[in-house]
Chains A and B, each alone.
Chain A
Amino acid sequence: MQVKTNILSLPTQEFVHPGTRACTGCGLSIAYRVGLKALGKDTILIVPPSCLTVLQGLFPVASTKLPCLNVTFASTAAAATGVLATLKTQGNDHTIVAAWGGDGGTSDIGLQALSGAAERGDNFIYFCYDNEGYMNTGVQRSGTTPIGAITANTPFKGKQQQKKDVPAIMAAHKLSYVAACSAAYPLDLYDKIKNCMNLPGTKYFHIHIPCPPGWGYDPRYGIKIGRLAVETGYYDLYEIINGEFRLTAASEKLLEKRKLVPVREYFRSQSRFKILSDFQIDEIQKQIDAKWEGYYKKGE
Chain B
Amino acid sequence: MHIIENGNTAAALGVKLCRAKVIAAYPITPQTPLTERLSEYVESGEMKAEYIPVESEHSALAVCIAASSAGARVFTATSANGLLYMHEQVQWASGARLPIVMCVVNRAVGAPWNVWNDQQDSISQRDTGWIQLYCADHQQIIDTVIKAYWLAEKVSIPIMVCYDGYILSHTYMPFDLPDQKKVDEFLPPFKPDYALNPDEPANLNTVTLPDVRLDVQGELAHGYMEIRYLLQEDLRTTLKDAAEAETRFARIFGRSEDPYLEPYRCDDADYVAVGMGSITYQMRVCIDVLRKEGIKIGIMGVRFYRPFPDEAIANALKRKKGIIVVEKALSYGYEGTLASDLKSALYEYLAGTGTLPSVQNFIAGIGGREIHTNDLTQILRAASQGRVSKEPTWIGLKL
**A residues apposed to B, CB below 8 Å:** 41-44, 46, 53-54, 56-62, 64-72, 74-75, 77-83, 85-90, 95, 112-113, 115-116, 119-120
Contact = CB atoms under 8 A, between A and B. Distances in A.
Contacts of B88: 72, 74
B207 interface: yes
Contacts of B209: 58-59
B204 to A, nearest CB: 5
B91 to A, nearest CB: 9
A59 B222 CA distance: 9
Interface string B27-60: 0000000000000000000001110111110111
B63 interface: yes
A59 B92 contact: no
Nearest to B55: A116
Contact of B59 (A41, A78, A86): A78
Interface string B204-225: 1111110001011000010000
Interface of B: 21-22, 24, 48-50, 52-56, 58-60, 62-72, 74, 88-89, 92, 195-198, 200-209, 213, 215-216, 221
Contact of A85 (B22, B59, B215): B22
A1 to B, nearest CB: 31
A253 to B, nearest CB: 37
Contact of B203 (A54, A56, A80): A56
A67 B215 contact: no
A62 B53 CA distance: 33
Contacts of B89: 72, 75
Contacts of A85: 21-22, 24, 50, 52, 63, 67, 72
A83 B71 CA distance: 9
B221 A82 contact: no
Given A75-B58, A95-B198, A81 B52 contact: yes
B200 A56 contact: no
Given A85-B52, A89-B22, A120-B53, A71 B70 contact: no
B65 A67 contact: no
A81 B51 CA distance: 11
B204 A89 contact: no
Given A58-B207, A85-B72, A71 B55 contact: no
B56 A112 contact: yes
B67 A90 contact: no
Contacts of A59: 203, 206-209, 213, 221
24 contacts: A41-B198, A42-B198, A53-B207, A58-B213, A64-B201, A68-B202, A69-B204, A70-B206, A71-B66, A72-B88, A72-B89, A75-B89, A78-B54, A78-B62, A78-B66, A79-B63, A81-B24, A81-B52, A81-B66, A83-B69, A83-B196, A85-B72, A86-B22, A116-B56
Contact of A61 (B56, B68, B215): B215
B50 A89 contact: yes
A82 B89 CA distance: 13
Contact of B70 (A42, A70, A82): A82
B207 A65 contact: no
Nearest to A46: B66
Contacts of A90: 71-72
Contact of B206 (A42, A57, A80, A88): A57
Contacts of A116: 54-56, 59
Given A66-B201, A89-B50, A79 B215 contact: no
A71 B205 contact: yes
Contacts of A61: 213, 215-216
Contacts of A64: 201, 203
Nearest to B67: A82
Contacts of B62: 71-72, 75, 78-79, 81-82, 113
A80 B216 contact: no
Contacts of A79: 62-63, 65-66
Given A71-B205, A83-B67, A115 B196 contact: no
A69 B69 contact: yes
Contact of B196 (A44, A57, A77): A44
A82 B203 contact: no
Contacts of B200: 67
A85 B74 CA distance: 10
Contacts of B50: 85-86, 88-89
Contacts of A88: 50
Contacts of A46: 66
A295 B221 CA distance: 56
A120 B51 CA distance: 12
Contact of A43 (B92, B198, B202): B198
Contacts of B65: 71, 75, 79, 82
Nearest to B21: A89
B26 to A, nearest CB: 10
B203 A62 contact: yes
Contacts of A41: 198
Contacts of A80: 66
Q: 9 closest pairs, A vs B, by CB?
A: A82-B66, A116-B55, A75-B62, A78-B59, A86-B70, A78-B62, A60-B221, A62-B203, A79-B66
B56 A113 contact: yes
